[in-house]
Structure 1
Amino acid sequence: MDKTKISSFQLFALVYLFEMGSAILVGIGASARQDAWIVLVLGMISGLLMFLIYYRLFLYYPDLPLTSYIQKLTGNFIGRILCFIYIIYFIYDASRVLRDFGELLTTTIYTNTPLLVINMLMILTSMYAIIKGLEVLVREGELFFIIVYLISIVGFILVVFSGLIHLEYLKPFLENGYIPVIKSTMRESILYPFGEMIVFSMILPQINEYKKAKKICLTAILLSGINIILTTIINITVLGVDSYIRSPFPLLNTVRSIPFGRLDVLFMLYLVIGVFFKVTVFFYSAVYGVVDLFQIKNPRTPIFPIGLLILFASIAIAINSAEHFKEGLNVKYIYYPLEIFIPFFLFIIAHFKNRNEQLKVKS
């Protein structure tokens, strides 16, 4: 892969855009009803703690991506199997986000356009960005971060001054106790979107000042998490709990409630930018993983076949939108090993292995 070194702000913008991605599109924590925002707070705190594990592994091997140091820590046989599983995970998650994007557009605006066409246009754009290299992607991130944040501020101001917010919809607090909140946190927000930061284990080795990676990524996770929490609170206080639960795309309904013209255009622009970066980061990491695992000399070789695989997986993943969203909730449990358990065990192995090596050097 390219030897591009990315700056601190470029990494910050990329993490922020990735975390926002499609997270504001769906109603995370809806099963906790008006306490959905608490689910996201707990998920964000868990995500910050999980990233500390990813970061510690990065410090042990600052020049290696996830697929390289897995093999160093677990051996070639087990390591290559785990690497292949992570590559499949990157491809699968890219296809899910791509399907989210396609479902929104085909059910709201482009109702007569085939899902395949919508998804194909997005994957071709991501493919082109990866061919151009990580440097082009992170430079785009710098520009689009500013655009996305301005859209967020404008949208927030318009919602507040439109008089649509009813804070009483957030009551009663913990109406059904803390059990539904804990269940929803374990089922959703820990893994999505915060646990998906594991993908940046493929990108962190390319940061200019690796000692700043911790502060940069934690700040980006915190900022994006706060924005997602605020978005959820706004959705609930504008739509009401029942409408928030029933709506597949609550933020779109919230934007359409603003009596200042067709502001859903801004929402669509926001969505296209967020989904593009999320799909492309997963796509890039899958390509990087294949190149690293199979030692492919030309890094562009796997781009087209992996892109096709993501595209067709996004179509074949479910028959309709209802099945797609249902599967999204059920399949998240298999992310626990990939986002939490395996990184934790890798951290333990790395800790003892590096400690033993340091003791050997001292002796």
Structure 2
Amino acid sequence: MEKAKISAIQLFVLMVLFELGSALLVPLAIDAKQDAWIAILIGMVFSFVLLLVYHKLYWYYPDLLPTEYMQKIVGKVAGNVLAFLYLFYFMYDASRVLRDFGEMLLTFAYPETPLFIANALLMLIIIYSVRKGIEVIARSGELLFMLMFLLSVVGFILIVVSGLIDFTNLQPVLEEGIVPVLKVVVTQTLYFPFAEAIVITMILPYLNNPKKAKLTMFCAAGLSGINLILTMVINISVLGVGLTARSQFPLLSTVQTIQVANFLERLDVFFMLALVIGIFVKISVLFYAAVIGSASLFKVQSPSRLTYPLGLIVLFMSISIASNFQEHIHEGLKVAMYVLHIPLLVVIPIFLLLVAFLKNRKKTRG
């Protein structure tokens, strides 16, 4: 670990921007149709249980990275294997978000630009940020947080003034009952984006006041969940369920419809800035976790040496993981859930907590 400290407010900002990240881009929980906002709300509430699991592990080992305390919990060999799996997951997740960024940029702004060039430009900035350390990433997050929410408030006001919102698109509520909504929760919203916050456990040891970790994580998850709920309510109210489901990036499609006094229109490019901020922070946090975890696992004295080789891996993974955007989305919603999300975000953390609890109880008795 580098010798750095971040405040609870900086952790809060990083976690909010991380969870908003690419989740603002996609039609989140649209399989629940007009009840998508309910699926997001229930997914947020259920994720608090997982956040308790992640925090309890941190509470047992406050000065160690997860890649380090895994070895203490299940032994060196098994711990190294688990640590490597999580490092791969962080890099894979970073490459997916980078692909989202590239596809968005090519769709709305630079259709003739190669995907590799768009992704490479952002990756270079992220590598530079990660080389500077977690304090620089956290301070950058604080500055960008204010800009992002200013843009969000302005966008909301313009949509309301434009008279685009039609709340009848949200009716009937629970038309097919609660079961389809719960199905979306356990297959999508619980993991993306809320349980992805497991990467924050790689940053918790840098917190200057460990007692504030739990409250900070809960508040961040709550605020990001509320923002995602409002976003989907607006998307469905403006576009309707059908158009929201068909749109690759429904939020930008919603912003495209803004027209005030025949003067303010075509603001989607302007509001792409807010989405780029969230994506930048999300990839930076994931990539930083991969770099610092790899340095810990492979006993590299200077983590910054790993930024360029790991950055190249993430860049090429973002290009090669799917041949087109539809395949990319299918892989994220169907394949990654069973192969990565359920084992790495739910099953393994709960197992580690049980073993850690038993070990610490024996120590306490001794």
Matching residue of 1:349: 355
1: distance between equivalents of 2:278 and 2:65?
24
Matching residue of 2:230: 230
2: distance between equivalents of 1:242 and 1:298?
51
Mean Cα displacement is larger for which, 105-114 or 310-319?
Answer: 105-114
Q: How many residues align?
A: 360
Matching residue of 1:73: 73
Matching residue of 1:171: 171
1:328 aligns with 2:332: yes
Gaps of 5+ in 2: none
**Deviation digits for residues 21-67 of structure 1 (CA, Å, limit 9, x no counterpart):** 01010001111110111110111111222111100110100001110
1:8 aligns with 2:8: yes
Matching residue of 2:188: 188
- The residue type paired with residue 78 of structure 2 is I
1: distance between equivalents of 2:8 and 2:200?
14
2: distance between equivalents of 1:48 and 1:258?
35
Matching residue of 2:296: 292
2: distance between equivalents of 1:79 and 1:71?
4
1:216 aligns with 2:220: no
2: distance between equivalents of 1:145 and 1:244?
26
How far did 1:266 drift? 3.1
- The residue type paired with residue 337 of structure 2 is K
Mean Cα displacement is larger for which, 256-265 or 60-69?
Answer: 256-265
Gaps of 5+ in 1: none
1:310-321, aligned counterparts within 5 Å?
A: 310-321=314-325
1:7-156, aligned counterparts within 5 Å?
A: 7-156=7-156
Question: For the aligned residues, what is the CA RMSD?
Answer: 0.9
Q: Aligned match of 2:273 in 269, 272, 277?
A: 269
2: distance between equivalents of 1:258 and 1:169?
18
How far did 1:83 drift? 0.4
- The residue type paired with residue 271 of structure 1 is L
How far did 1:226 drift? 0.2
- The residue type paired with residue 262 of structure 1 is R
2: distance between equivalents of 1:261 and 1:248?
20
How far did 1:257 drift? 0.6
2: distance between equivalents of 1:159 and 1:92?
35
How far did 1:291 drift? 0.6
2: distance between equivalents of 1:44 and 1:3?
33
1: distance between equivalents of 2:337 and 2:310?
22
How far did 1:271 drift? 1.1
- The residue type paired with residue 149 of structure 1 is F
2: distance between equivalents of 1:84 and 1:68?
11
Matching residue of 2:345: 339
1: distance between equivalents of 2:213 and 2:46?
18
1: distance between equivalents of 2:218 and 2:146?
19
Between the aligned residues of both structures, percent identity stands at 51
- The residue type paired with residue 310 of structure 2 is I
**Deviation digits for residues 150-183 of structure 1 (CA, Å, limit 9, x no counterpart):** 1111111111121100000011111122222111
Runs of 4+ in structure 1 off by over 2 angstroms are: none
2:303 match: secondary structure: coil
1:301 match: secondary structure: helix
1:190 match: secondary structure: helix
1:51 match: secondary structure: helix
1:233-244, aligned counterparts within 5 Å?
A: 233-244=233-244
1:23 match: secondary structure: helix
2: distance between equivalents of 1:333 and 1:236?
28
**Deviation digits for residues 246-282 of structure 1 (CA, Å, limit 9, x no counterpart):** 1111001100011022321332101111110000100
Is 2:62–2:210's contact at 8 Å kept on the other side of the alignment?
yes
**Deviation digits for residues 177-203 of structure 1 (CA, Å, limit 9, x no counterpart):** 222211111111011000101101110
Q: Aligned match of 2:306 in 302, 312, 315?
A: 302
How far did 1:128 drift? 0.1
- The residue type paired with residue 55 of structure 2 is Y
